[in-house]
């Protein structure tokens, strides 16, 4: 029912910045909880950042806290991930995800809870 399309990935030097975008083709986007996950080679898919709604609470994994910022533009049906001070360990495929029925309480960080996923965008950070 909904499609998510990521863009903005690429190759950057360590210490650089990159902004990822995720466009959602869904009328009720503003009511979804949105999140970013990433998966590096040989590792499990892990939660990176999430936001329940525009202006709502945000949550970040410890590994990216103070470096990454999640935001959303409901008018454009787009969620963003601003990544600063990038490290080689940030290299991964990044996915945006949407939860159409976010539960009350804290942000859900396990990937099976999310209903819709983008195709992923590769981020590579070189030394």
Taking CA atoms, 113 is separated from 9, 34, 66, 68, 127, in Å, by: 25, 11, 25, 22, 35
Mean pLDDT of the chain: 91
More confident site: 28 or 21: 21
Contact 36, 111 (CB under 8 A): no
Contact 67, 81 (CB under 8 A): no
pLDDT at 89: 97
Closest-CA residue to 122 (of 52, 63, 38, 51): 38
Give the span between the Cα atoms of 20 and 27, in whole angstroms.
21
Token duo for residue 28: 């009720």
For the chain, percent helix, then strand, then coil, each to nearest 5?
10, 45, 45
Per-residue pLDDT band for 52 (boundaries 50, 70, 90) equals confident
Mean pLDDT of 44-66: 89
Mean pLDDT of 60-78: 92
């Amino acid at each position: 029912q909904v499609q998510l399309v990521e863009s903005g990935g690429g190759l950057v030097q360590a210490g650089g910045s990159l902004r990822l975008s995720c466009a959602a083709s869904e009328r009720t986007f503003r009511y979804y909880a949105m999140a970013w996950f990433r998966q590096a080679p040989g590792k499990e898919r892990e939660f990176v950042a999430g936001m329940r709604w525009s202006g709502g609470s945000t949550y970040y994994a410890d590994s990216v806290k103070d470096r990454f910022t999640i935001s959303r533009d409901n008018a454009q049906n787009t969620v963003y991930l601003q990544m600063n001070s990038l490290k080689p360990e940030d290299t991964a495929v990044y996915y945006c995800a949407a939860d159409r029925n976010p539960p009350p309480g804290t942000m859900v960080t396990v990937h099976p809870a999310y209903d819709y996923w983008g195709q992923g965008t590769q981020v590579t950070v070189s030394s």
